[in-house]
Chains A and B, each alone.
Chain A
C-alpha cells in the first residue's frame, strides 16, 4: 500500500528555494528579537513582538517538530490509527486533519492564554514574551504532541489510565486525584475571572445573561425545528449575540441598570446555580449550542485581533522589564520574576490541562500518525499566538491605568483619588480625572480594581480595534471582548462541571457500582452538586478575600496547571525509556526538569516563605497573631475579614502543598521505572501492536504534490472497491 511519507523521503535534503525561504524567515526573526533586546523607551512597536513570535514558531515547527516527529517518536504511516481501526462514527472517527486541528484548538484554547499574560505584564513585556515563545517551542507544544502520540498508540487512553498502566498504581491514583483537584481550581479561577468582569457592570450582565436564552433557542431550533443545521443555527445565534451586545448599551434607557448592577456575591450565586443546572440538563439544550457559539466567537476574535494589530501597529506603553520583576513586590501578584512569570503564564507556554485533551477525544480522530505533529505541536503554537496577542493588548494600555485596573481593592481604596495616590506610590502617574474618563469611555461605572485580566484585555482590545477600524466604537468593542471571554469561560465551566461529575461518578462507582450509572438521577444530581459545591466554595473564597482573590488564587491556578504538566511530561519520559528511546528522553526530559524546578520553587515559596505577601501560612500566622492581640491588619476592615483571611490562607496553603506532593509522588514512582527501563534498554508497554493502514492522507497543513497524487490514487481505488461491492 502506498504511504505518503516514507522514511527515505524525510531524510530528503532541503531544496535551494526552501533554503532561501527559511533563511528569510530566520532573518525576520533575528531582526525582531534584536529589536526587542535593544529598543527601549517610548517608541517600541508591538509588531516586533508579533514578528519575533511568528518567525520563531515557523522555524520551530519546520525543524524541531519535524525532528520530534520522525526521529524521536518515529511516526509510522504504515500503522493504522485508532480512528481507522475502530471507526464507529462517534468517538473513533477518521477526521480531516484541518478539521481536527480546529476541534483540537477550540478544545485547548480558552481564557487561560488571555488571562495569564495580562497579569504577567506587571513585570514588563519582555519576560512574558520570551517565556511564551521559548516555553511553547521546547515545553508546551512538545508535551501536547508527545502525549497525543502516546495516547494515539494506546487507542486514546486518558492521562490517568496511562500513568497507572505505565508507571504504577500509586502514581496512577495520585495522578487521578491531582487531575480532579486541579480541575476544580481551574474552574473556580475561571469563574472568578467572569465574576470580576461582570460585577457592577449592567451592560456586561445584560449581554452575557442573554446568551442563555440565545443558546436555549439554538438548542430547540436544532432539536425540533431544523435538526442538524448547525451552521444556520450558529449564524442566527451570532447575530442575536451581536444584538445583545449592542442592546447592552441601552440598559440605562430600558431602566434595567439598577436591577442588573450585581454584586460579586450575587454573581457567585448565579454562577453556581447556573453551573448546576447546565450540568444536569440534557447537553443539546444548553451546552452544545453554547459550545458552537463560543467556538465561533473564539476563532473570529482571534483572527480579528491579528488583523487589528497589523493595521493599528500600536506602540508598547509597558516597560521591557519593570522593577516588580526584580523586587517581587508587584500589586497584581506577589513574587519575583523567577519563578512567578513562569507560573502566571501557564496556558500559552506550557499547560498541563492540554494533556487531558491530547489523551481524550483528539487521538481517537487522527487519520494518520504523521498528523500528530500538525495537530499537537501546531495546535499549541496557535494557542501560544493567542497568548502573545493578549500580552500585547495588556502592554499597549497606559501603565498607570493598567495598575489601577489590576491592583486589589484593598490597595486602590475604591475611588479615583485614592487610586491615583496609590498608583503614584508605584511610580506611575495618572490623574483621578483620567481614571474616570477611561471608565466612561467604555460605559463602565468604574475600572478600579477590576482584577482578573478580562477587563484589562477588553480595554486593550478596544484600544487596538478603535485605532484599527475607527468609528468611535470603544464601548462596543470593550463589551464585545468581555462577551467573547465570558462566553468561553462559561462553556469551560459547563463542560468542566460535567466532566468532573462523570469522573466522580466513575471513581465512586468502583466501590458502589450503582453510582457509576450516569442516567441514575440521584447519582448524577448529587455528583453535580458536589463538583459545583467544590468550585463554588473556592470561587466564594476568591471573591470575598480581602487580600484580592486573583492575587491569592491565580498563583495556585498557574502552579497546579504546570504540576499537571509535570505529571504528563514524567509519563512521556517514562515511555521514551520503556520504548528503548532513552537517547531522546531529553526531549520531554528537559522541559520536565525545568517545570519541576519552577513549580517546586514556587510551591515552596507559597507554602514556606516568611514573607506574608507570598507565603500562605506566614500570612495566616501574621493575621492570627494580630487577631489574638485584638488588632486589625490592613486591608481587613473588621474581625470577620480577619477570620476570612486566616481561613482562606490556610485552605490555599493546604491545597498548594497537596498538589506539589501529588506531583512528587508521580515523579518519584516514575524514576525507578526509568532506571529499570534504561538498564534493560526498554520494557514492555501497553502500546497496541501495529496493524497495517490502508488510508492515505497528507501529513501537514498543505499537501505536497506527491501527497495529492497519492490521495487521488487512493480515492480512485476506494471507488473501484465500492463499485465491486466490497463488504463494509
Chain B
C-alpha cells in the first residue's frame, strides 16, 4: 500500500517536472556530466529557453 502511494506520488512529480520543462535542466546537467563540461548557471539556461519561446509562439486553440 505504502509503496503504491509513494510510486503514485513519484509518478505525479515526474509528470509535473516533464510537463513544465523543469526536467530539461536535469537532462542538461546529466549531459554536461557525461561530457565533462562545466554547465552554465540555471539562470542562463532558463534565459536561453525563454529567448527561444520569445521567437516561436505557440498558438492556443479555441
Residue of A nearest to B31 (CB): A728
Q: Mark A491-525, 1 if CB is under 8 A from B, else 0.
A: 11001101100100000000000000010000000
Let me know if A288 and B50 touch, CB within 8 A. yes
Cβ–Cβ < 8 Å partners of B55 in chain A:
518
Interface residue? B61 (CB, 8 A): yes
Let me know if B15 and A108 touch, CB within 8 A. no
Tell which of A41-49, A203-211, A220-228 binds the partner. A220-228
Q: How many A-B residue pairs have CB under 8 A?
A: 105
Given A108-B61, A222-B46, A351-B61: A91 in contact with B56 (beta carbons within 8 A): yes
Between A and B, 7 residue pairs with Cβ closer than 8 Å are: A108-B61, A223-B47, A224-B43, A231-B20, A488-B60, A495-B58, A728-B35
Interface residues on B, range: 20 to 34
Besides A96-B18, A488-B60, 14 other CB < 8 A contacts? A91-B56, A99-B15, A107-B61, A227-B46, A228-B22, A229-B22, A230-B20, A283-B50, A283-B54, A291-B60, A351-B62, A353-B59, A356-B61, A499-B59
Interface residue? B4 (CB, 8 A): no
Chain A nearest CB: distance from B14 CB in Å? 9
B50: contacting residue among A107, A234, A282, CB under 8 A: A282
Interface SS of chain B: helix
Tell which of A109-117, A248-256, A336-344, A597-605 binds the partner. A109-117
Chain B nearest CB: distance from A283 CB in Å? 5
Let me know if B57 and A99 touch, CB within 8 A. no
Interface residue? A673 (CB, 8 A): no
Let me know if A227 and B42 touch, CB within 8 A. yes
Chain B nearest CB: distance from A88 CB in Å? 10
Let me know if B59 and A354 touch, CB within 8 A. no
Given A228-B25, A229-B22, A230-B21: A110 in contact with B53 (beta carbons within 8 A): no
Alpha-carbon distance A489/B10, docked complex (angstroms):
32
Residue of B nearest to A234 (CB): B20
Q: Mark B5-27, 1 if CB is under 8 A from A, else 0.
A: 00000000001111111101100
Residue of A nearest to B35 (CB): A728
Let me know if A356 and B59 touch, CB within 8 A. yes
Interface residue? A284 (CB, 8 A): yes
Cβ–Cβ < 8 Å partners of B60 in chain A:
107, 110, 291, 488, 491-492, 495-496
Interface residues on A, range: 35 or more
Interface residue? A292 (CB, 8 A): yes
Residue of A nearest to B57 (CB): A498
Q: Mark A511-552, 1 if CB is under 8 A from B, else 0.
A: 000000010000000000000000000000000000000000
Which positions in B face A, CB cutoff 8 Å? 15-22, 24-25, 31, 34-35, 42-43, 45-47, 49-50, 52-62
Interface residue? A332 (CB, 8 A): no
B22: contacting residue among A91, A190, A223, A231, CB under 8 A: A231
Residue of A nearest to B21 (CB): A230
Residue of B nearest to A114 (CB): B62
Given A90-B52, A228-B45: A502 in contact with B61 (beta carbons within 8 A): no
8 shortest A-B CB distances, which residue pairs?
A112-B62, A230-B20, A227-B46, A498-B57, A492-B60, A284-B50, A99-B18, A495-B60
Given A90-B52, A222-B46, A288-B50: A354 in contact with B61 (beta carbons within 8 A): yes
Let me know if A186 and B62 touch, CB within 8 A. yes
Interface SS of chain A: helix
Let me know if B62 and A561 touch, CB within 8 A. yes
Q: Mark A354-378, 1 if CB is under 8 A from B, else 0.
A: 1011001100000000000000000
Residue among B21, B24, B49, B61 with most chain A CB within 10 A: B61
Let me know if A361 and B54 touch, CB within 8 A. no
Let me know if A292 and B61 touch, CB within 8 A. no
Chain A nearest CB: distance from B8 CB in Å? 14
Let me know if B43 and A227 touch, CB within 8 A. yes
Which residues of A in the span 184-229 have a Cβ within 8 Å of any Cβ on B?
186, 190, 222-224, 227-229
Q: Mark A374-405, 1 if CB is under 8 A from B, else 0.
A: 00000000000000000000000000000000
Cβ–Cβ < 8 Å partners of B45 in chain A:
227-228
Alpha-carbon distance A99/B50, docked complex (angstroms):
20
Cβ–Cβ < 8 Å partners of A186 in chain B:
62
Chain A nearest CB: distance from B34 CB in Å? 6
Interface residue? A103 (CB, 8 A): yes
Let me know if B24 and A357 touch, CB within 8 A. no
Given A282-B50, A722-B34: A502 in contact with B20 (beta carbons within 8 A): no
Interface residue? A98 (CB, 8 A): yes
Let me know if A353 and B61 touch, CB within 8 A. yes
Chain B nearest CB: distance from A441 CB in Å? 30
Interface residue? A89 (CB, 8 A): yes
Alpha-carbon distance A244/B9, docked complex (angstroms):
29
Cβ–Cβ < 8 Å partners of B56 in chain A:
90-91
Given A91-B56, A228-B42: A103 in contact with B19 (beta carbons within 8 A): yes
Chain B nearest CB: distance from A454 CB in Å? 13
Cβ–Cβ < 8 Å partners of B22 in chain A:
228-231
Chain B nearest CB: distance from A578 CB in Å? 27
Chain A nearest CB: distance from B11 CB in Å? 10
Residue of B nearest to A109 (CB): B61
Chain B nearest CB: distance from A433 CB in Å? 37
Let me know if B59 and A495 touch, CB within 8 A. yes
Cβ–Cβ < 8 Å partners of A353 in chain B:
59, 61-62
Alpha-carbon distance A112/B59, docked complex (angstroms):
14
Chain B nearest CB: distance from A383 CB in Å? 9
A283: contacting residue among B21, B34, B42, B57, CB under 8 A: B57
Residue among B21, B25, B45 with most chain A CB within 10 A: B21
Alpha-carbon distance A492/B61, docked complex (angstroms):
6
Alpha-carbon distance A354/B49, docked complex (angstroms):
25
Q: Mark A280-314, 1 if CB is under 8 A from B, else 0.
A: 00111001100110000000000000000000000
Cβ–Cβ < 8 Å partners of A499 in chain B:
57-59
Let me know if A492 and B34 touch, CB within 8 A. no
